Amino acid sequence: MSENYPAEKIYSNKKTVEEYDSVRFKSFRGKIGNWLDQFAVSRLLKRVPVSEKVLDIPCGTGRFTEYLFSLGLTDITAADISNEMLEIAKKKLGSIKQNINFIQIKAEDISRLRNEFDCIFSIRFFGHLPLKAQFKVLEEFSKSAPSCIIEIPIKGRLRGRRLLKPIVQGDNTAWHKLDWQTTVSNIEAAGLKVVKKRWKVPFISDSCYLLLERK
């Protein structure tokens, strides 16, 4: 049985969904953050040919789906648990939406699609997942694709912003962070290995981008 966590439900809330892009990515800081996410992925993507069949899960409002399409990837499936987020993504992607296959599904269930992808992208998702759920999702990724690019927050490093945040604001975040060793053990137990690693912002951010391949 899979574990429940708040992110499964909160992105079905109308207000959260409508404000998702403007709250996170419209400000100057948000735009820089978005650019850094894309830059990290583009570095790891050097190993993924553009002819690949890819899955963006969770696609949210299509932020990364749009970016993957702009890189020339054309066989893209965009999936999310939230129908409300998928609707925003379809609206936002306008004319390119004909080229995207949208699916409402839980990441914990993707191997049921019996659709082998070449690469799975999963950005700003693992931090929402408690340990067991992280493992379950990694296992599903390993069954459904030979490689994946994930973003995952790592605990226990002297990362500037995250170090100051609990002192300044109090650490009330529901973000789940594992240390590097536990993260790697989880990845390996799920049948994957870390091939390449990139920090979103070296020495400052705890957000880490990993290219994983089946062992």
Which residues are near ligand SAM by CB under 6 A?
Answer: 7-8, 11, 57-58, 60, 63-64, 80-82, 85, 106-108, 123-125, 128
Distance CA 177, CA 138 (A): 15
Residue nearest to ligand SAM (CB): 60
Amino acid at the residue 198: R
* Beta carbon nearer to ligand SAM, 106 or 196: 106
Residue 23 CB, nearest approach to ligand SAM (Å)? 11
Using the CB atoms, write b or e for 115-125: b if 16+ within 10 Å: eebbbbbbbbb
Residue 158 CB, nearest approach to ligand SAM (Å)? 25
Residue 46 CB, nearest approach to ligand SAM (Å)? 20
**DSSP H helical ranges for 4-61:** 7-10, 14-25, 28-45
Distance CA 197, CA 33 (A): 18
Amino acid at the residue 80: D
* Beta carbon nearer to ligand SAM, 85 or 154: 85
Tokens representing 124 are 């700003």
Distance CA 166, CA 13 (A): 27
Residue 125 CB, nearest approach to ligand SAM (Å)? 5
Query: Are the beta carbons of 13 and 83 closer than 8 angstroms?
Result: no
Distance CA 76, CA 69 (A): 8
Distance CA 50, CA 74 (A): 8
* Beta carbon nearer to ligand SAM, 16 or 193: 16
* Beta carbon nearer to ligand SAM, 5 or 193: 5
Residue 41 CB, nearest approach to ligand SAM (Å)? 10
Residue 185 CB, nearest approach to ligand SAM (Å)? 22
* Beta carbon nearer to ligand SAM, 163 or 174: 174
* Beta carbon nearer to ligand SAM, 7 or 194: 7
